[in-house]
Structure 1
Amino acid sequence: MKNRCKEGVRLLFSCCVLLSSLSVLAVDSPTKLPNVIVIVADDLGWNDVGFHGGNIDTPALDRLASEGVELHRFYTAPICSPTRAALMTARDPIKLGIAYGVISPWDNNGVHPEEHFMPESFLAAGYQTAMVGKWHLGHAQMSYHPNQRGFEHFYGHLHTQVGFYPPFANLGGRDFQRNGVSIDDQGYETFLLADEVSRYIKQRDRDKPFFVYMPFIAPHTPLDAPQQLQKKYADINTDLAPARTEQTDMTRARAQQMGTPSARPMYAAVVDGMDQAIMQVLNTLDEEEIAEQTLVFFMSDNGGAAYSYGGADNAPLRGGKSEVYEGGIRVVSLLRWPGVVPAGSRFDSIMTVMDLFPTLAEAASVPVAATKPLDGRSLWQSIIQRQRVPRQELVFFASETPIYGEFNLTAFNDDWKLIQRVRQDPLQVSVSNQLFDISADPYEYRDLAAQHPQIVDRLAGEIAAWRAQYPINGTRSILAPPPGWRAPHDWASYPRPLEQLQPNAAPSYAPNPAIERALDEQHGERGRLIYR
């Protein structure tokens, strides 16, 4: 009898353990595929959100922070197109040929059609996919168009800087479309995007999960906002802390000398409007009763535009957009999935924009169908289990913006960060290096290059080898069009249709593969002829 009682107790204990395990499994591994929303701000400053102590109202982003995890060391490229290319492919933008500059209206560049985009994997896994907002990843050929890169539905703009009010144009050409057809929607652009995402969610196929990519043009220049928001921030503090970089602080000083009104009040109004749009999307999820089945991710595409007419504040981080100091590449980033991601938590390990695709794919149990090796890695398990992930391998970013021939370069990991500036003049090249113990000095006050020349040399060599991967016809910082180039009246009709294009990518001038390989080798560290 006594033995039977012991066996009963053991059985009861085993059942309790099993039920507890199943309960944890149900939370950490939902059986139903989650909806996924990826939201991207354009040039948001580190100190411009409420949960970082900023003085702009951001209740929606604050809500995501309190209900999810802050990715506290999330890194992007310092400029727009490279970040978006890395986001979509999980590949290093240096390999894609989109690293030094953005894709300008007069460029033919885009992401190679051989590259696999994140929505293509989600679409193949049974998701319905939509993009609402700014593309900026190629417009010259339909092979670069969102509808050819995994998005069934596209509502938005091919370019940046289309304005916040109609006619939504770039260089005088209309740039607002729905699936390749120009549209004439009226209203404040930020709110139009929120309306479209809300409509899409409400009218979705309820038998399938959805993947929505929502890249705002806010708070990118040229800044504009509804009058009510402008009045709200008319008296906001405009005496910002120095960015501690020559280029950015010089623009601020010149603006003050010339009596130019601060861009800060209008910038704050634009950020507030963007936050309202995000809150509308979150409220739509609540109304549809699918918030707990939806993973929401947020990030800025680069650091805030802290120069005079940008209005952003990245303090206490150093620098801003187009620079590779922390203020240019370490960005506000959040992830929420109720019941799965620990609410109110913070992930302090290095995570880059290349890591997002594999991380979201693992979270949603979506196979990554890319054929080229990814440069990103999934950090999903570490995020939900609150595990630190050491990083010894180097992360690289670059920018040539805004001055042609002046390159801002960085290589960093958990221990060291090298910032290298290369200036190319007609008869000489000058190189300067700064070295930071980035874990002990995250705000980059103490340059240790003179004390550690061997580390500087090693990291500089790594940067040179990394740059050698760049396709020779990749983007550069070319701020003006070719002489005589003309913009179209309507950008929706600009991309060359697929039926007018040959089926394969064009070759180089080399007459045969053997000579092409020889020429590629002869280019050495100048860049690549052969796409890899």
Structure 2
Amino acid sequence: MVGQRYDQGAEALGTHPAAPTPRPDVVLITIDDAGFNDVGYQNPSAYSATPNIDRYSSQGVRLSQYYGQPSCSPSRAALMTGVWVHRLGFQDSEVSAYSNFSTPLRYATIAERLKKLGYATVGWGKWNIGHCAEAMLPWNRGFDYFLGYFTAAIDYRTRATGRNYTHGGVDRPLYDQLEGWASTGEWRKPEDVFDETYDSLLYAKKAAAAISTADGPLFAWLAFHGVHADNDDSKNITDNEIEPGSRGLAELRRGLANATDGRIKFAEAMYVVDYGVGLVVEAARDANRLGIVIVHSDNGAMPCTYGGPTADVPGSNYPLRSGKFQYFEGGVRVPAFVYAPEILPTTGVYRGLMHHVDWLPTIVAGIAGGDVSKTDADDLGIDGVDHWAWIKSVRVEDDSPLLAAPLDAVGPRDEIVFDISTAAYNLSYGTDSAPKDLRLPYADAIIAYRYKHLKLLKRHTDDDAYYRPDRGYLPNCTAMFCMMNRELYSTQEARCDFTDFLFNLTEDPLEQNNLADHPHYRHIRRDLEDKAKRHFSRAFYQPLNHISRSSVDANHAFYKAGDVIVPWGGEPKSGCELVY
């Protein structure tokens, strides 16, 4: 059952108390696994699969120093709460079907904070930050309505997870898609969206309809499935499915005639995402409620795909180093922009250092005029900072997106704490046969930290590559195989060497020159290590009991719900724990 704190104040979409002053609609669009090189405006030499994104970004403010976490769940945890992942226990934990954890419930989400300001709050797409108990579900964490899925990957059409579960001694297919409402506390398996509609298009159409008909200020989170590299032949789409009579996909394929099969498939998936962005923006414009649209990727692209060089949808971070699951620039530096033609006075490039955690205060305080001060439940407050005044002050300039921030970058942020981890391997992939959980001393902790133009990586995967978009890579490339520097199981340990890195990103934005052992940088390295340790000393949370392990309770709940992932507990005995 949903606890009392989640029942109080839950209202139906459109029935919120009026805000004391007019507040703009905010649409936050999260693209899944789109790399630095995957949007046309940052890759002008290639045929662009993102005409809408290119146009809106040129008429808005591009964020040239925007960062996320290197994978899906940590990125969403930071985005929704405004808190560094080493305080959330989400250092590298990916939520899968049986994960027994979520972001701690004491941290209010963007949606929870905006509801208090009179916003209606709706969402579609990938949640991926906890679902094993009802209190963790999006409609109990601030969203009036949410339609989406909870795990990392599903079939774009059938919503199948690609894995079976066991009930009554029988293997059964497992699906992932629910919708729920805060007003009633009800949730259901929505049979009408299991009709093999391509889900990136489905979510965009539903978002466009909601924006067109909303009453009062609206916060909408559209968390696309695309362009996550799920090996799924059914994701192939047609122009008639998108826009009858269009020749867009045919033109796209002609423009990519010399690309690899994988990159053509990626471009098709990205084209649908771009079309969805356009659908949402133009629906808001037609309804005369075009407020602020924020578009960003969650993490870097995955160039090493399950299907190999000719299958799947390999993204590209080129010329940045490495990719998803790694803390090199290719894994964490991602495309982002703000489009608000009636609110932002100018267009241009914002060079300030910015991270996912910054959207909560930027939206709640800077845009909506709310309060993000410390709460009784969390006396350390949030880690994000408000960039809105800085974004609004951008002046038109011609700027290469590869330029690193200057030494004294404009903006309120001067550091990013990507990761502080004292666990010996990726806890989210634990199994019954996995080694015993091991806590490392802080001296051996895994650290990823940036201060101004300097970036320190301790115990990071060694010698990860630069992946070209004109080649295909199998999944045993370093960025995929070492999975966030954590999987030290005996079968993989020999493949993953670890070392320390220090980069000057102003002089070396492509991370080609490791300064970790340079004599002139010894004192700088010590200073960065001290700064990171102060964050560790101030607040750190990384439980060793975060696992993703099959349970009888979970399987029984999945069976009762019709072979779909649903919450199954809320108590330790159920294998699902509420963390407040």
TM-score range for the pair, normalised by the shorter chain length: 0.7 to 0.9
What residue is the counterpart of 2:398 in the other structure? none
Gaps of 5+ in 1: 1-29, 241-260, 508-530
Q: Return the alpha-carbon distance in structure 1 between the equivalents of residues 449 and 51 of structure 2.
A: 35
Q: Return the alpha-carbon distance in structure 2 between the equivalents of residues 273 and 334 of structure 1.
A: 19
Q: CA deviation at 1:59?
A: 1.5
SS, match of residue 263 in structure 1: helix
Equivalences for residues 100-499 of structure 1 within 5 A: 100-169=92-161, 171=163, 172-179=173-180, 180-184=187-191, 185=193, 186=195, 187-205=197-215, 208-223=216-231, 224-227=235-238, 262-291=261-290, 294-309=291-306, 310-361=313-364, 362-368=366-372, 371=375, 372=378, 373-386=381-394, 388-389=410-411, 391-397=413-419, 409-421=447-459, 432-451=499-518, 452-463=521-532, 466=535, 469-473=539-543, 481=549, 487=555, 488-489=558-559, 490=562, 494-496=566-568
SS, match of residue 131 in structure 1: strand
Query: Is 2:89 the partner of 1:97?
Result: yes
Q: Return the alpha-carbon distance in structure 2 between the equivalents of residues 421 and 238 of structure 1.
A: 41
SS, match of residue 349 in structure 1: coil
| Aligned amino acid, residue 131 of structure 1 | G
Q: CA deviation at 1:101?
A: 2.0
| Aligned amino acid, residue 416 of structure 1 | L
TM-score by structure 1 length?
0.76
Q: CA deviation at 1:395?
A: 3.0
- Cα–Cα, structure 1 residues 470 and 368, in superposed 2: closer, same or farther, change >3 Å? closer
SS, match of residue 334 in structure 1: strand
Q: Return the alpha-carbon distance in structure 2 between the equivalents of residues 336 and 192 of structure 1.
A: 23
- Cα–Cα, structure 1 residues 141 and 506, in superposed 2: closer, same or farther, change >3 Å? closer
Cα deviation digits, residues 104-150 of structure 1 (max 9, x gap) = 21211001111111111111111111011110011100110001000
- Cα–Cα, structure 1 residues 82 and 197, in superposed 2: closer, same or farther, change >3 Å? same
| Aligned amino acid, residue 278 of structure 2 | M
TM-score by structure 2 length?
0.70
- Cα–Cα, structure 1 residues 343 and 497, in superposed 2: closer, same or farther, change >3 Å? farther
Q: CA deviation at 1:455?
A: 2.5
What residue is the counterpart of 2:399 in the other structure? none
What residue is the counterpart of 2:479 in the other structure? none
- Cα–Cα, structure 1 residues 197 and 88, in superposed 2: closer, same or farther, change >3 Å? same
Report how many aligned residue pairs link the two structures: 451
Work out which of the two has the higher radius of gyration on C-alpha atoms and give 1 or 2: 1
- Cα–Cα, structure 1 residues 169 and 231, in superposed 2: closer, same or farther, change >3 Å? farther
Q: CA deviation at 1:391?
A: 4.4
Query: Is 2:40 the partner of 1:39?
Result: no
- Cα–Cα, structure 1 residues 398 and 262, in superposed 2: closer, same or farther, change >3 Å? farther
Asked if the contact 1:115/1:370 (under 8 Å) is kept, the reply is no
Asked if the contact 2:347/2:394 (under 8 Å) is kept, the reply is no
Q: CA deviation at 1:420?
A: 2.1
Asked if the contact 2:52/2:277 (under 8 Å) is kept, the reply is yes
Q: Which moved more, 1:265-274 or 1:55-64?
A: 55-64
User: Of the candidates 25, 28, 50, which is equivalent to residue 40 of structure 2?
Assistant: 50
| Aligned amino acid, residue 96 of structure 1 | L
What residue is the counterpart of 1:70 in the other structure? 62
Cα deviation digits, residues 162-221 of structure 1 (max 9, x gap) = 11112444633222222121012221111110111122122322xx11110110111002
Asked if the contact 1:123/1:129 (under 8 Å) is kept, the reply is yes
Asked if the contact 2:176/2:565 (under 8 Å) is kept, the reply is no
SS, match of residue 64 in structure 2: strand
SS, match of residue 331 in structure 1: coil
Asked if the contact 1:157/1:175 (under 8 Å) is kept, the reply is yes
What is the identity percentage for the equivalent residue pairs of Structure 1 and Structure 2? 25
Q: Return the alpha-carbon distance in structure 2 between the equivalents of residues 475 and 101 of structure 1.
A: 11
Cα deviation digits, residues 329-356 of structure 1 (max 9, x gap) = 1110011112322443100010111111
Q: CA deviation at 1:84?
A: 0.7
- Cα–Cα, structure 1 residues 119 and 426, in superposed 2: closer, same or farther, change >3 Å? closer
SS, match of residue 93 in structure 2: coil
Q: CA deviation at 1:501?
A: 10
Q: Return the alpha-carbon distance in structure 2 between the equivalents of residues 118 and 367 of structure 1.
A: 12
Q: Return the alpha-carbon distance in structure 2 between the equivalents of residues 409 and 236 of structure 1.
A: 42
Q: CA deviation at 1:492?
A: 5.7
- Cα–Cα, structure 1 residues 65 and 167, in superposed 2: closer, same or farther, change >3 Å? closer
- Cα–Cα, structure 1 residues 41 and 493, in superposed 2: closer, same or farther, change >3 Å? closer
- Cα–Cα, structure 1 residues 474 and 96, in superposed 2: closer, same or farther, change >3 Å? farther
Q: CA deviation at 1:471?
A: 2.9
Q: Return the alpha-carbon distance in structure 2 between the equivalents of residues 284 and 475 of structure 1.
A: 45
Q: Return the alpha-carbon distance in structure 1 between the equivalents of residues 563 and 445 of structure 2.
A: 31
| Aligned amino acid, residue 192 of structure 1 | L
Asked if the contact 1:230/1:265 (under 8 Å) is kept, the reply is no
Cα deviation digits, residues 361-397 of structure 1 (max 9, x gap) = 1212133376131111101111111391264445333
SS, match of residue 133 in structure 1: strand
Asked if the contact 2:459/2:500 (under 8 Å) is kept, the reply is yes
Q: Return the alpha-carbon distance in structure 1 between the equivalents of residues 55 and 128 of structure 2.
A: 29
Q: Which moved more, 1:53-62 or 1:299-308?
A: 53-62
Q: Return the alpha-carbon distance in structure 2 between the equivalents of residues 239 and 454 of structure 1.
A: 49
SS, match of residue 191 in structure 1: helix
- Cα–Cα, structure 1 residues 386 and 304, in superposed 2: closer, same or farther, change >3 Å? same
| Aligned amino acid, residue 397 of structure 1 | D
- Cα–Cα, structure 1 residues 342 and 72, in superposed 2: closer, same or farther, change >3 Å? farther
| Aligned amino acid, residue 30 of structure 2 | V
Asked if the contact 1:77/1:398 (under 8 Å) is kept, the reply is no
| Aligned amino acid, residue 365 of structure 1 | G
Structure having the higher helix fraction is 1
SS, match of residue 351 in structure 2: strand
Asked if the contact 2:96/2:150 (under 8 Å) is kept, the reply is no
